[in-house]
């Protein structure tokens, strides 16, 4: 996991993406913690917060870590149907913070392209991309 986190962190630093914190998805806490450590080693101290795994909408609140504020980066290892990404963006918006970007290492493409765009784009159009190529999908640099 250390090498993967190092790759993610270096890719983030080289991308020029502006973000203030990282949101850890329920099953991605170790990865995000490792990425935050690697970013600190590269001179970028970035807090992260934890997204709850609750399925009940009224219970979908941040469950730990730093307060959810500023430009929020979502980091995930695998995107399957896009449900976690969609829920993460909703959580960020509910907290009044703007989503900065979404990055994932592997896209399993379990949904047709058209449906996946609705999942990842929502209000902010993005490009479909992966860590292995042009890793980050930027919200701020895409036309509305």
Higher pLDDT, 114 or 124: 114
The secondary structure element, H or E, covering residue 27 is none
**E-assigned strand segments in 60-98:** 64-65, 72-79
Q: Strand 64-65 vs strand 48-50: parallel, antiparallel, or unpaired?
A: antiparallel
Which of 57, 87, 66, 74 has the alpha carbon at shortest distance from 19? Answer: 74
Residue 36's pLDDT band (cuts 50, 70, 90): very high
Q: Is the pLDDT of residue 51 over 60?
A: yes
Which of 72, 85, 81, 78 has the alpha carbon at shortest distance from 105? Answer: 78
pLDDT at 111: 55
Residue 140's pLDDT band (cuts 50, 70, 90): very low
The angle at the Cα of 39, spanning 91 to 94, to the nearest 5 degrees, equals: 10
What average pLDDT does this structure show over 61-68? 59
Residue 27 token pair:
């099953």
Could you tell me the domains of the chain? 2-129 (3.40.50.2020)
């Amino acid at each position: 996991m250390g090498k993967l986190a190092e790759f993610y962190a270096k890719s983030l630093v080289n991308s020029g993406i502006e973000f203030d914190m990282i949101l850890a998805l329920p099953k991605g806490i170790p990865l995000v913690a490792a990425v935050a450590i690697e970013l600190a080693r590269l001179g970028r101290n970035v807090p992260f917060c934890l997204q709850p795994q609750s399925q009940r909408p009224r219970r979908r609140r941040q469950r730990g870590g730093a307060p959810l504020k500023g430009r929020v980066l979502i980091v995930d290892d695998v995107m399957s149907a896009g449900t976690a990404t969609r829920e993460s963006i909703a959580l960020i918006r509910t907290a009044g913070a703007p989503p900065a970007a979404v990055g994932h290492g592997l896209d399993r493409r379990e949904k047709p392209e058209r449906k996946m765009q609705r999942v990842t784009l929502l209000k902010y159009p993005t490009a479909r991309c992966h860590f292995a190529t042009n890793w980050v999908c930027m919200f701020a640099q895409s036309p509305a």
